[in-house]
Chain A
Amino acid sequence: MIKTPIYLDYSATTPVDPRVAEVMIPYLTEKFGNPASRSHEFGWEAEKAVEQAREQVAALVNADPKEIIWTSGATESNNLAIKGAAHFYKAKGKHLVTMMTEHKAVIDTMRHLESEGYEVTYLKPEPSGLVDIEKFKAALRPDTILASVMLVNNEIGVIQDIAALGEICRAQGIIFHVDAAQATGKVAIDLAKLKVDLMSFSAHKTYGPKGIGALYVQRKPRVRLEAQMHGGGHERGLRSGTLATHQIAGMGEAFRIAREEMAAENERVRSLRDRLYKGLSQIEEVHVNGDMEQRVPHNLNISFNFVEGESLIMAIRDLAVSSGSACTSASLEPSYVLRALGRSDELAHSSIRFTIGRFTTEEEIDYAIELLKNKIGRLREMSPLWDMFKEGVDLSTVKWASH
């Protein structure tokens, strides 16, 4: 018997790998010292763990450990990077560029800067979810100080061409920030080659603990930031606060495992994802959201036309997945990411994000396919839109009652 619910929401968060948990535990109990304590063995021991983890995180992305700053997660890293650089370089200009499909931690940070008098351009992606390089170039101005584009999108899993965008920014002296929260362990990142000035990481998307992340701050050429958290001057004054040794050790171990295992793991995950896609393709009127080639192997975002996402999630309670549908949030808005791709409202309301990971099995995928085939059929039987579709009515031509 298969154990339910089956977790297919690895982009929301991942379980901590048992190997990671094991590394963390001693730093809660016997090795509890404050890494900033310079006067005794407890402190030295904790500091050693912190510095080892810094090396492990740096190694995954081919950076210098000195370029890694600990934060509480990618949200804080994004805030520190964007606000920190915008404030520091405001004399140079007050224009920033990002995309409509960024994570809220970037979008809302940008919105905040707008309230401080900065100007932000939010680029619309192509229907594939990818940014058009020419449109990106065209958005840059002499007063642009920073551009922020995510490496892997959290909803549709598409991979942006960070290398090309970085070259463009560097040539124009614009700071380039990349949110890589969803990318670690999924795509190879070589910061020695990439022209990226700032990059955000999170542990809990890569089998590490929640509440810990890092920001890469390039040293050559040097990027300056205004600190957002003031206090004891930790992390070269960029982020004060006693370091969470156990969390940091966990992130280090998680990133070490990612580096060593990602090649094999991605192949396994890809074959599961393709199996899922193949199974679901047998259902009529399914549409993949986002480019299928330039995409991380563990993501499948699909719209089941004429079935509302929240009712579908309710029907498949044996699967832990997420929906871009309106009604899962109090705001009753369909996913802003799918809207930005130009998806119709019906399709945006009908989307499900499946994200597969380290502990997903083939049996679980097969179970998911069968369940979905069943439930989609049942919900379509109940859907007036399905009837209209079957009768050949073009829904876009229907005049819906006063709305």
Chain B
Amino acid sequence: MSYSTKVLDHYENPRNVGTFGKEDEGVATGMVGAPACGDVMKLQIKVNKDGVIEDAKFKTYGCGSAIASSSLVTEWVKGKTLDEALTIKNTQIAEELALPPVKIHCSVLAEDAIKAAVADYKARHGEMQGEMVETAACKG
């Protein structure tokens, strides 16, 4: 498997790796994937009073493309409102990182991580209507 320079760049210099403090205001967490599938992605967003994502952090267990996808997504969600963040599509992630077909599911996982984090935020703030977030299919 050869990697695109963008995947390599995010992999070598991942942006925003880490975890927010448990007590931090406005933090929500999305965790998707499963160890059985070989990928688990944790995306955290920090939302300010105006409903804008002002910071994001990730931790990922998975292949290089999964790490790069989550790193990229932390950059993309910053400065967006929750609804704007939800418009980020896996196809955009895959295109930006030039992912080959077998790696598309890594970008799907990153899109799902955004959805899961936003859903968590809405649930914490009473906006959630019990809607479940579908995560990337794993046949493992």
Q: Please state if A349 and B38 are interface contacts (CB–CB under 8 Å).
A: yes
Return chain B residues, CB-CB under 8 Å to A346.
Answer: 35-36
The answer, among A307, A332, A402, for a CB contact under 8 Å with B61, is A307
> Is B17's CB under 8 angstroms from A382's CB?
yes
A333 within 8 A of B: yes
Q: Is the CB of B59 within 8 A of A308?
A: no
Neighbour of A308 across the interface among B1, B32, B38, B133, CB < 8 A: B38
Kindly identify which residue among B38, B59, B64, B132 contacts A384, using a CB–CB cutoff of 8 Å: B59
| Complex alpha-carbon distance, A334 and B138, angstroms | 13
Question: What are the residues of chain A within 8 A of B41 when measuring CB–CB?
Answer: 384
Contacts of B40 in A (CB 8 A): 384-385, 400
Complex: chain A residue closest to B60, CB-CB: A382
Number of residues on chain A facing chain B (CB within 8 A): 31
Contacting residues, chain B, for A314 (C-beta < 8 A): 3, 11, 63-64
Query: Are A401 and B116 CB-contacts (below 8 A) given A314-B3, A332-B140?
Result: yes
User: In the bound complex, what is the Cα–Cα distance between A382 and B102 (angstroms)?
Assistant: 23
In this complex, what residue of A is CB-closest to B43? Answer: A384
CA distance A306 to B42 in the complex (A): 14
Whether B60 and A326, one on each chain, are in contact in the complex, defined by CB atoms closer than 8 angstroms, is: no
The answer to whether the Cβ of A381 comes within 8 Å of any Cβ in the partner chain is yes
B134 interfacial by beta-carbon distance below 8 Å = yes
B54 touches A (CB below 8 Å): no
In the complex, A383 Cα to B40 Cα: how many Å?
8
Q: Could you say which residues of chain A place their CB within 8 Å of the CB of B63?
A: 308, 310-311, 314, 325, 327
Encode contact with B along A282-315: 1 for CB under 8 Å, 0 otherwise.
0000000000000000000000001111110010
Complex: chain B residue closest to A309, CB-CB: B38
Residue ID in chain B nearest A334 by CB atoms: B38
Q: Is B11 a contact of A327 with CB atoms below 8 Å?
A: no
The residues of A that contact B33 with a CB separation of less than 8 Å are 400-401, 403
Residue A387 lies at the interface, judged by CB distance under 8 Å to chain B: yes
Contact flags B106-140 to A (C-beta < 8 A → 1, else 0): 00000000001000000000000000111101111
Contacts of A344 in B (CB 8 A): 35
Q: Is B4 interfacial (CB-CB < 8 Å)?
A: no
| Most B-side CB within 10 Å, residue of A314, A330, A332, A401 | A401
Provided the pairs A311-B63, A314-B64, A345-B140 are in contact, do residues A401 and B133 lie with their beta carbons within 8 angstroms?
Answer: yes
How many chain B residues touch A (CB < 8 A): the figure is: 37
- Partner of B35 from the list A309, A345, A387 (CB cut-off 8 Å) is A345
Q: Does A52 sit within 8 A of B, measured CB to CB?
A: no
Complex interface bits, A12-52 against B, C-beta within 8 A gives 1, otherwise 0: 00000000000000000000000000000000000000000
CB of B14 within 8 Å of the partner chain: yes
Determine whether the beta carbon of B31 is less than 8 Å from that of A401: yes
Interface assignment of A105: CB less than 8 Å from any CB of chain B: no
B26, CB-defined interface residue at 8 Å: no
- Is the CB–CB distance between B138 and A403 below 8 Å? yes
Distance from B30 Cβ to chain A, minimum over Cβ atoms (Å):
9
**Alpha-carbon distance A349/B63, docked complex (angstroms):** 10
Complex CA gap A263/B63 in Å reads 40
What's the least CB distance linking B32 to chain A, in Å? 5
Chain A positions 78-110 with a Cβ under 8 Å from a chain B Cβ? none
- Residues of chain B from 17 to 45 with CB closer than 8 A to chain A in the complex: 17, 19, 31-42
Q: Determine whether B79 belongs to the interface, using a CB cutoff of 8 Å to chain A.
A: no
Q: Is the CB of A403 within 8 A of B61?
A: no
Whether a CB of chain A sits under 8 angstroms from the CB of B67 is yes
Within 8 A of A (CB), among B31-88: 31-42, 59-64, 66-67
Which of A309, A400, A402 touches B36 (beta carbons < 8 Å)? Answer: A400
A398 to chain B minimum Cβ distance, whole angstroms, is: 8
Residues from chain B with Cβ under 8 Å of A383 in the complex? 59-61
25 contacts between A and B (CB under 8 A): A308-B38, A308-B62, A310-B38, A310-B63, A311-B67, A314-B64, A325-B63, A326-B38, A332-B38, A332-B139, A345-B38, A345-B140, A349-B35, A382-B59, A382-B61, A384-B41, A385-B40, A386-B61, A387-B19, A400-B40, A401-B116, A401-B133, A401-B135, A403-B138, A403-B140
